[in-house]
Chains A and B, each alone.
Chain A
Amino acid sequence: DGGITQSPKYLFRKEGQNVTLSCEQNLNHDAMYWYRQDPGQGLRLIYYSQIVNDFQKGDIAEGYSVSREKKESFPLTVTSAQKNPTAFYLCASSTPGLAGGDTQYFGPGTRLTVL
């Protein structure tokens, strides 16, 4: 079955530690995205990538970093510079058309708790 996998589902880290969240897709999608979800705030875009070896900052990129070395993989690192990293993180992918209007396909999410 094609889809997006995120691991782990739950992650606990101590304050001051960097942590990397995994996102893999086998949908052959070109674009991948990372969102942060907090209660009552909807989804906020952290980073996105349209193509391998290229990515752009979203609305809340500070304290996060990404890489896109392979089409199917888009890992997110939450660094110690992120002031409030406890949240639910969602990865998504899509195949952008020329005009947009593309469905985003989401992974199951990773819940990160920083102690």
Chain B
Amino acid sequence: AQSVTQLDSQVPVFEEAPVELRCNYSSSVSVYLFWYVQYPNQGLQLLLKYLSGSTLVKGINGFEAEFNKSQTSFHLRKPSVHISDTAEYFCAVSERGSYIPTFGRGTSLIVHP
């Protein structure tokens, strides 16, 4: 069975600083990896996903993530955050052959002016 661990429940950062949100997963088979963002009282929307190929994946709003198979990680990064990036971020994994993802518990990114 797959599982996802988001190592930080909350990440405070100042505007224009870089940020990294950490995600580790466990699975016995090959996986697909996702990052979703949720703004307050809204549904989730896809930021980016890794299916295959290049391990560095670029997404919307200037975010990127790197798949590291040996460390079973898929950390999300942004070089310079804005106030508008304040939101909840969810990492998700699904095993190849299954379309049901498992979500992490989420990381709350709080950007201070």
A-to-B contact residues, CB < 8 Å: 4, 6, 31, 35, 40-43, 45, 48, 58, 90, 92, 94, 96-97, 99-104, 106-109, 111
Within 8 Å by CB of A100, from B41, B45, B95, B104, lies B95
Q: Could you tell me if B100 and A108 are in contact, using CB atoms closer than 8 angstroms?
A: no
Q: Could you tell me if B42 and A43 are in contact, using CB atoms closer than 8 angstroms?
A: no
Within 8 Å by CB of B94, from A6, A92, A101, lies A101
Minimum CB–CB distance from A55 to chain B (whole Å) comes to 13
The secondary-structure label for the interface of chain A is loop
User: In the complex the two chains form, what is the Cα distance from A40 to B43 in whole Å?
Assistant: 16
Residue of A nearest to B94 (CB): A100
Q: Could you tell me if A43 and B103 are in contact, using CB atoms closer than 8 angstroms?
A: yes
Minimum CB–CB distance from B102 to chain A (whole Å) comes to 9
User: In the complex the two chains form, what is the Cα distance from A101 to B101 in whole Å?
Assistant: 9
Residue of B nearest to A97 (CB): B99
Minimum CB–CB distance from A42 to chain B (whole Å) comes to 4
User: In the complex the two chains form, what is the Cα distance from A92 to B101 in whole Å?
Assistant: 12
Minimum CB–CB distance from A43 to chain B (whole Å) comes to 4
Residue of B nearest to A40 (CB): B105
> Could you say which residues of chain B place their CB within 8 Å of the CB of A41?
105
Q: Mark B39-82, 1 if CB is under 8 A from A, else 0.
A: 00111111001010000000000000000000000000000000
Q: Could you tell me if A101 and B43 are in contact, using CB atoms closer than 8 angstroms?
A: no
Q: Could you tell me if B100 and A43 are in contact, using CB atoms closer than 8 angstroms?
A: no
Q: Could you tell me if B96 and A100 are in contact, using CB atoms closer than 8 angstroms?
A: yes
> Could you say which residues of chain B place their CB within 8 Å of the CB of A102?
99
Within 8 Å by CB of B96, from A35, A58, A101, lies A101
Given the known inter-chain contacts A42-B104, A45-B100, please indicate yes or no for A100 contacting B32, CB distance below 8 A. Answer: yes
Q: Could you tell me if B46 and A103 are in contact, using CB atoms closer than 8 angstroms?
A: yes
Q: Could you tell me if A108 and B105 are in contact, using CB atoms closer than 8 angstroms?
A: no
Given the known inter-chain contacts A42-B104, A43-B90, please indicate yes or no for A99 contacting B46, CB distance below 8 A. Answer: no
User: In the complex the two chains form, what is the Cα distance from A48 to B99 in whole Å?
Assistant: 11
